[in-house]
Structure 1
Amino acid sequence: MTTITLSSAAIKNMFEQLHHNFGGSLSVNVKEHILTLDNELGRGHIRGITFKGGISYLEFDMEFSEDVTLRTGTDKNAPICFAYCSEGRIEHSFNNESERHTLENFQTGILTNESNAVNTLYFRKDVRVNTSLIVVKTVGAEQTEKRNGLNYRLQERILKGKTAENTIYIGSYNLKIADQIKQLKAIKQQGIVRSLLIEGLVHMILALEVQQHTDDLKNQENQTGSLNTREMESVREISSFVHNYPERQLSIAELCRKSGLSPCKLQEGFKLMHGTTVTDYIREVRIIKAEELIKNTDLNISEVVYSIGFTSRSYFSKIFRNKYNCSPKQYKDKQNMMAVSA
């Protein structure tokens, strides 16, 4: 087992210590730190970035070759940590306590600390883990000038004016957050554009975590719904299939056969992940694909309509107008005009 103790929670110092202990290669892009490992200790990367206002994002996308324990202390005003596990599982304990809490695949968690507490994360050998942590600095009683900021509002939402204690809240399964993290990983831009895109998605993930916590409190009798982890994974696979093959005429019955889920569970999963029904999701995927084809190809409108699985051009025009506030032809004409002027 390898045990690492980090003396600082500041991203820059933290990554210097991680680099010193784990080896690998450390790169810094604007304020984003990425430690890439491919050695006897493990493979993967650890990423961290700090934004204005005291919000930081940490991501562990790792598979260690041995058990790894990571210990880090907190300040007098200990932060609130919003956690999400999109692959594998991770364990946590406070100080030197023997009790461990487990965050499983697709689960949300909220961690609060008393002053100067120590947090310990446990990574099991040969288990691929992808865990994201959003760390929110709290505002001290004397920092009255910061009480209009996002940090203070989140602090009031979670702590409700009480003094922070060592508590961990394990919430429901949530596939929407996994989708946002997937988009975050897909960012190819560099420099300030990359930083802005990451910050926007991190705030979206944070909003979804807070909403999940609110929803869970309203329905504590049924925190995780009726779907288990395997069934949630099936919903994600079916979502990817629909996204990759929008032109196919997909029925609920066919998707149920492919996923092994009942119609009720399939619909429940799409409601959890996308906030909509299976049919509405298929239509949304097709209309977005159509917009891409109109913008980036020479296909005429009829060819676009039939290439994405619609059978009625008038129906397509209606839902396209509802989404983009113009007809497909007007949209294509506008794109052509922009191309000429460029």
Structure 2
Amino acid sequence: MKTLSIKTAQVKTIFEQFHKDMGGDLQIDTKEHILEIDSPLGQGIIKGIDFKGGISYLEFDMEFSEDITLVAKSPKNPPICFAYCSNGQMAHSFGEDGEKHELENFQTAILTSKKLQDNILYFEKDVRLKMILILVNPVQNLEKGKHLNQKLQKLFFKNNVADNLAYIGSYNLKVADKVQQLNAISEKGIARRLMIEGLVHMILALEIQQHADDLKNSEYKDSSLTSREREVVQELSLFVNNYPEKQLSVSYLCKKGGLSPSKLQTGFKLMHGTTVTDYIRDVRIRKAEDLIKNTDLNISEVVYSIGFISRSYFSKIFKAKYNCSPKEYKDKQNAYAISA
């Protein structure tokens, strides 16, 4: 087992230590640190970036060649850590003798700790790990109670004093969608940084909302879905996104995935926060918006290309989502293209 240590929550210093311990090629672009690793320790990439307001973002896409223990000591003003695994799993404990908390794929987690507390992360060898960490560090000299940073401290610190908390939440595919969008960003420079910052804030919001939903709906958090069943729900979700024109139904997806209707609905509610039918409809509407905006298809062609039969019904639900009719939206796009 290999033990690595970091003594700060600042991305620049973290990557200097990672680079020293794991080798690889370290690139820095507009304060985004990208470490590509191909060494006896493992293969993959680690990314990280600091934003204003004390928010830092780390992303691991690694397969280690040996078990890794990462020891991170909390500073005098400990951060709030939001974690998410989109592939593989990891474990966490407070100190070497503390209880291990397992974080599986598609699960959210919120971690806080006492000052100067050792936080230990455990990564297994030969497991492809895709994980993100969002650190919200206390920022001094802010107007009291007005900043997100302080509101989160009030929410997760009892009497504004940091303590050990490991909250392992429900399974959520919305976060996985945002992580995929992060990985799909092809822009460079300041545009890339702004896009990353926007998506990181969206992921942060989804994790906070998941925590609130878990407190209200403990029956979903304690669902009996197995790891394989959660993977099936993800596969079916991708299928819906890839084939929005198909006349999909709950019974069809149950047969395709080998799940009962109850398991399927529980999975979509658990991981998307909605029913199967509503998810399919939302995917179609988002696909329609993309086609209207980026193709020359007329409205009728768009309607049929995404599996709708009734144009009037499509117009109704499109307007409910975007507050304008499909025709109005297309006219605005055309007018913008002409003016440009």
Give the TM-score normalised by the residue count of structure 2: 0.92
Q: Distance in 1 between matches of 2:200 and 2:166?
A: 21
Percent identical residues: 64
Going from structure 1 to structure 2, the CA distance change for 1:9 and 1:144 (only over 3 Å counts) comes to closer
SS at match of 1:53: helix
Aligned to 1:202: 200
Pairing 1:211–2:195 present: no
Q: In the TM superposition, what is the alpha-carbon distance from 1:173 to its structure 2 partner?
A: 2.2
Q: Return closer, same or farther for 1:220/1:313 CA change in 2, 3 Å cut-off.
A: closer
What residue number does 1:80 align with? 80
Q: 1:193 aligned to 2:191?
A: yes
Deviations 1:275-306 (A, max 9, x none): 32222222222222222222222222222222
Tell me the matched-pair count.
340
For the 8 Å contact 2:54–2:139, the answer to whether it is kept is no
Counterpart contact for 1:47–1:58, Cα < 8 Å? yes
Give per-residue Cα distances to partners, 1:68-89, cap 9 Å, x unaligned. 2222222111112121222111
Give the AA of the match of 1:308.
I
| Residues 53, 259 of structure 1: alpha-carbon distance in 2 compared, 3 angstrom cutoff | same
Q: 5+ unaligned residues in a row in structure 1: which ranges?
A: none
Partner of 1:123: 123
Contact 1:75/1:116 (<8 A) preserved: yes
Task: Name segments (4+ residues, structure 1) moved above 6 Å.
Answer: none
Given the superposition, is the C-alpha separation of residues 96 and 104 from structure 1 closer, same or farther in structure 2, using an over 3 Å criterion? same
SS at match of 2:53: coil
Give the Å deviation of 1:253: 0.8
Alignment of 1:120-199 (within 5 A): 120-138=120-138, 145=143, 147-161=145-159, 163-199=161-197
After TM superposition, give the deviation of residue 104 of structure 1 in Å: 1.4
- Give the aligned partner of residue 22 of structure 2: 22
State the 1:96 CA deviation. Answer: 3.2
Counterpart of 1:52, as a letter, is K
1:257-277, Cα deviation, whole Å (9 max, x unpaired): 011111122122222333322
Check the 8 A contact 1:302/1:313 in 2, yes or no.
yes
1:223 is aligned to 221
1:220 Cα deviation after fit: 4.6
Moved more, 3-12 or 43-52: 3-12
List gaps (5 residues or longer) in structure 2. Answer: none
Counterparts of 1:232 and 1:41, CA distance in 2: 30
Superposition pairs of residues 1-342 of structure 1, within 5 angstroms? 1-97=1-97, 99-138=99-138, 145=143, 147-161=145-159, 163-220=161-218, 223-342=221-340
The CA RMSD measured in Å over matched residues stands at 2.1
Whole-Å separation in 1 of the counterparts to 2:329 and 2:210: 37
